[in-house]
Amino acid sequence: MGSVLSQFTEIASWFFLIYGSIIISGYLFTAIYSIIEIRDYKRRNNFEDDIALLQSLNLPAISILAPAFNEGLNIVENVRSLLTINYPSFEIVIINDGSSDNSMELLFAEYELEKKDILYHNFVKTKDIKGIYKSKNKAFKNLTVVDKENGGKADALNTGINICQNSVICCIDVDCILENDAMLKLIKPFLNNGNKVIASGGVIRVANSCVIEDGRIIEVKLPDSFVARVQVLEYFRAFLMGRMAWSRVDGLLLISGAFGMFDKQIVIEAGGYDTNTVGEDMELLVRMRRMMQERNVPYTVGFVPDPLCWTEVPQTWEILKRQRNRWTRGTAETLWIHKKMMFNPKYKILGMLSTPFWFFFEWLAPLIEFTGILFFIILFILGQVSWQVFLSFFLAVYSFAILFSVTALFFEEYSFQQYKKPSYIFRLIGTAMLEPIIYHPVIMWSAVMGNFDLLRGKNSWGVMSRAGLSNSGKKQKD
Amino acid sequence: MVNFDTFNFHLDLDSLPWIMKLNIVFALFFLSLAIIFFISIIWIRIFKIYRNEKKRKQQSLLIDFLNSYLFDEDFDKELEIKNFKENHLRTSLEIKVTIKEILHFHENLKGESAKDLETLFNKLGLVEFTLLDLEDGRWFTTARAINALSELCIEVPNHRIEAYLNESRNEVRQQSQLYFLKLAEEQPLKFLDKTVRPLTTWQQIYIENALKNFYKGPAPDFSQWLYHDLTSVVEFSIRMIARYNQFENIPELIPFLKSKNDTLKREAISSLTNLEHIALLELIIPNFKGNSRIIKLEILNSVEQLGNYEDLKKIGDQLATTDWELRIKYHNIELGFLPEKKELIYSQFMLEKRFEI
Amino acid sequence: MKKILVIEDNPMVIKSLEFKLTKDGNNVMVAHDGREAMKLLKDNEFDLILTDLMLPFVTGNELISYIKKNTPNTPIIVLSTSTQENIIMDAFNMGVDDFITKPFSPNELSLRVRRLLNKN
């Protein structure tokens, strides 16, 4: 038995080693590409003259779509802050997704709404619309409020797509906080490229503990809670490293549901948001890209590294676990729906790099890790654990995790440096040192449970839609 | 396989199994990299704090200096400029911040104040620094230098900028285009003749803006670029013909209504509409059906702007029932023509919608 | 001494306006955003208001309709980057007295301010 086991251990060791090296080279690739892209972006935007942009008649008009489900607490302020963004021509469409609270009444009172007969067509099929409202007050003429039956976030966004007037749409979470020039920045990729731009995404930051007044960030602070603080690091890694690099090679598969701009016509042709998956934001972009690739039309997806959108992340373990469980299911569902693309050279970068990467490193990684731990436990029970090997292995993995976070932190310092207080750096480093031990196992476990739930056939939305929109859109991966 | 009972630490690396050696080497490598990054972070932080403090000081100094220079009649300009030059333009950071701040002021001001700023820039000796930057060789420094030159209307020999008109970098190209435009006394778009790379929408926005807000001479005849090799230049020229109300160029635009290129065709329709060329409608309405979606939408726009209900009805017959986007647009225009029938049109549409007619 | 409220969020423009208008012999108060402006408007009376249209917290249009409702006789000058006809028309329809686009000439602005102040 001993020799079989030792042979097995040998094979397993090799397996983990190879897998580990691939992951490490993957990260190396992201780090290098990201830093090039960030540097390039900073240089390109050295001198900016927004006046010319604001005066231009050539900037496409934008429709900002914000679904709201039981957001009564802040909806009035959030809408007001949306109305004050800097952009020459835009409309705000708030889609009340059958809220059971008093959101509608509050909007009615504050913005002097009245019912309007507006012609629209269901380009994408949605739940019934109860009414469309506009303000009687000229000062709010950019505002449209749609009241509809509850159908989840994807359905609400589809409703917005059907009703809105402009050909460029920006989908956001109503509770996220936008920088003033967010739209001017996000539209840039649409103007700067020879190829057709079908979408552009921006960086999302963590708003927990920041000083917020009337829907605006007054002061950026590091979250007090450990769970939220780790997510600051996660968002650095995901956005400043991951997405930047993917954008450099034009292989982005995900634009966060909390903040992304799209060409409406392409979205409609692709069929709009899929209401049957919890990963509707990722699934839509993959479907759009797939459609463009199959049509053989040159196109691109833009990405802007400026911190433009701030959002509350889960502060408690319970909500966090639920969120990650959902993300795992979303990733798995999307990859499954589009499995045809994987390793298919017809889809170029998407087929040969992006989808395999997501499959092996986003979806499979937690499962492999889990298997590794199970393996370790079995060895332990059998008294076969080589503590020296284990400790050295653990040390290598641990130092890699630290390196990864510190690199991301370095990128942030180099580029935008949002956390101004010097003490924040030390707290973030401390957080990075604790993360692999305290936080990471929970994330891994949630991912495993997500796969388990998926196999069990847990319905994507169902109970989840009740969990509130505020967390459903904060999809982010690293 | 090392057994549980051999659990003891060897300091002698050679006696360890290979996998452990590898792990330890990796761990050390990662940790030392992490430490290097950590030190860099601290270093960047200290450097940035120090630099930002200097920057802030220089900026607040400049705000006072510039405002007094511009608006205070009792301000001894010559003496203060000399003072400032001697005491506050010593490091490259001070120079950079000063250039940037003067540009920022210049961006927001026009008229006499803008002129004063240009003089000041010269008197502070900042032109020389900008010219050094121009020769720097790195594209972003070059672009920044050209930006400053054009913003403040500082002339340099043409050939020094011309080379950048077809640079591979978008940003350098754009700045050199703007340079020629902003400094031109006449023929502001002459650079288009030398342009061989497409104009992005972004560049078009800035060219149009500079044309309107900086260029003071007579408007160029945009028809001269209607047969330029680049579609984007043609597109831009068609649009400008309308923006500058060059009615005399209407006959030149008509052929573009038959263009195979939808971008040009659309731009032509939109420009002729803006020029209120009523005869346009009879050229585009009869062939409505044979067009692509974006052209159809543009034709509907024209009817809305120039036509009447009768014109609209001619399109109604050519609309496919399944074409909901166009139908909605059609009915919205109809609502504009027949406000008294608002409710009828709406309920009729909702009915058709329900039965998917 | 006339009391002028400047509502603007670009610090450079604020400083210049403050400097120039004070030089002209006015008492200038500054609000950096719509909310601050609302507060100042509640507690003070002004002879003239100079405002941007794109402001944090409260839209320019909302601010204008608020001023027109409470102190309909206070002249308003809009100082904005917008050159779009419909935006300018909207502003005039809401009762704005003058519309100046950025980039602006400080001398011209000071002239227009004086003219409106003298009219009242």
**Residues C37-95: tens digit of each pLDDT:** 999 999 999 999 999 998 888 888 899 999 999 999 999 999 998 888 888 998 999 99
Does A241 fall in a domain?
Answer: no
Tens-digit pLDDT profile for residues A317-376: 999 999 999 999 999 999 999 999 999 999 999 999 999 999 988 899 899 889 888 988
In C, minimum Cα distance to B68 occurs at C19
Does A323 fall in a domain?
Answer: no
A167 touches chain C (CB under 8 A): no
| A410·B48 Cβ contact <8 A | no
A105 touches chain C (CB under 8 A): no
Of the candidates B206, B309, B225, the one whose C-alpha atom is nearest the C-alpha of residue B264 is B225
Where is the domain boundary, A294, A313, A332?
A313
Does A330 fall in a domain?
Answer: no
pLDDT confidence tier of residue B301, bands split at 50, 70 and 90: very high
Residue A469 has pLDDT above 50, yes or no: no
For the ranges A12-16, B47-51, C75-79, the lowest mean pLDDT is seen at A12-16
Residue A29 has pLDDT above 90, yes or no: no
pLDDT of residue A338: 96
Same domain, A130 and A263: yes
pLDDT of residue A462: 38
Residue B252 has pLDDT above 70, yes or no: yes
Does A235 fall in a domain?
Answer: no
Count of structural domains within chain A: 2
pLDDT of residue A321: 96
Does B357 fall in a domain?
Answer: yes
Count of structural domains within chain B: 1
Same domain, A353 and A448: yes
Same domain, A274 and A307: yes
Residues in chain B: 357
Could you tell me the domains of chain C? 3-119 (3.40.50.2300)
Does B286 fall in a domain?
Answer: yes
Give me the residue from B20, B49, B147 closest to A389, CB to CB.
Answer: B20
Does B104 fall in a domain?
Answer: no
Q: In this structure, what are the phi and psi dihedrals at residue A308, rounded to the nearest 5 degrees?
A: -110, -20
Structure tokens at A1: 């038995």
Q: In what order do the strands lie in the sheet with A143-148?
A: A113-115, A129-135, A143-148, A90-97, A62-68, A168-172, A259-263, A196-206, A299-311, A177-178
Same domain, A350 and A271: no
- Percentage of residues in chain A with pLDDT exceeding 90? 67
Residues of A in contact with B208 (CB under 8 A): 56, 58
pLDDT of residue B12: 56
Beta strands C48-51 and C3-7 are: parallel
Please state the rounded mean pLDDT for residues A263-285. Answer: 94
Same domain, A180 and A305: yes
What 3-state DSSP class applies to A370? helix
Residues of A in contact with C32 (CB under 8 A): none
| C16·B67 Cβ contact <8 A | yes
| A425·B45 Cβ contact <8 A | yes
In C, minimum Cα distance to B213 occurs at C103
Please state the rounded mean pLDDT for residues B157-165. Answer: 90
pLDDT of residue A44: 85
Same domain, A211 and A84: yes
Q: Tell me the average pLDDT of chain B.
A: 90
Does B3 fall in a domain?
Answer: no
pLDDT of residue A463: 41
Question: Which among B56, B68, B69, B71 is the top mutation candidate for probing chain C, defined by the most C β-carbons within 10 Å of its own β-carbon?
Answer: B71
Q: Rounded CA gap, A109 and A107, in Å?
A: 5
In A, minimum Cα distance to C9 occurs at A180
Same domain, A27 and A69: no
pLDDT of residue A9: 73
Does A331 fall in a domain?
Answer: no
Residue with tokens 């004086």: C114
pLDDT of residue A228: 96
Same domain, A32 and A53: no
In one-letter notation, the amino acid at residue B143 is A
Same domain, A111 and A31: no
Q: Rounded CA gap, A165 and A439, in Å?
A: 44
| A51·B107 Cβ contact <8 A | yes
CB environment A463-473: b (16+ within 10 A), e (fewer): ebbeeebbbbb
Which residues does residue C3 pair with via DSSP β-bridges, in sequence order? C27
Which 8-state DSSP code applies to residue A47?
S
- The CATH number assigned to the domain holding A170 equals 3.90.550.10
In B, minimum Cα distance to A16 occurs at B19
Does A324 fall in a domain?
Answer: no
Does B295 fall in a domain?
Answer: yes
Which residues contact residue B139 at a Cβ distance below 8 angstroms, ignoring those fewer than 6 apart?
A43, B167, B169, B171, B172
Q: How many CB atoms lie within 10 A of CB A225?
A: 14
Residue A298 domain boundaries: 48-229+252-313
Residue A71 has pLDDT above 70, yes or no: yes
Residues of C in contact with A140 (CB under 8 A): 59, 62
Residue B258 has pLDDT above 80, yes or no: yes
Residues of C in contact with A55 (CB under 8 A): 81-84, 101
> Helix and strand tally (H, E) in chain A?
18, 12
pLDDT of residue B14: 64
Residue A231 has pLDDT above 60, yes or no: yes
Tens-digit pLDDT profile for residues A354-366: 999 999 888 998 9
Residue A470 has pLDDT above 80, yes or no: no
Does A409 fall in a domain?
Answer: yes
Structure tokens at A158: 């589809």
Same domain, A32 and A60: no
Does B350 fall in a domain?
Answer: yes
Quickly list DSSP for B127-153.
Answer: HHHHHHHHTS--HHHHHHHHHHHHHTT
Q: Rounded CA gap, B192 and B195, in Å?
A: 5
What 3-state DSSP class applies to A418? coil
Q: In this structure, what are the phi and psi dihedrals at residue B199, rounded to the nearest 5 degrees?
A: -85, 130
Residue B310 domain boundaries: 278-357
Same domain, A72 and A120: yes
Q: Rounded CA gap, B179 and B191, in Å?
A: 10
Q: Tell me the average pLDDT of chain A.
A: 89
Q: Rounded CA gap, B75 and B70, in Å?
A: 9
Residue A471 has pLDDT above 50, yes or no: no
A385 touches chain B (CB under 8 A): yes
Residues of B in contact with A400 (CB under 8 A): 26, 30
Same domain, A264 and A380: no
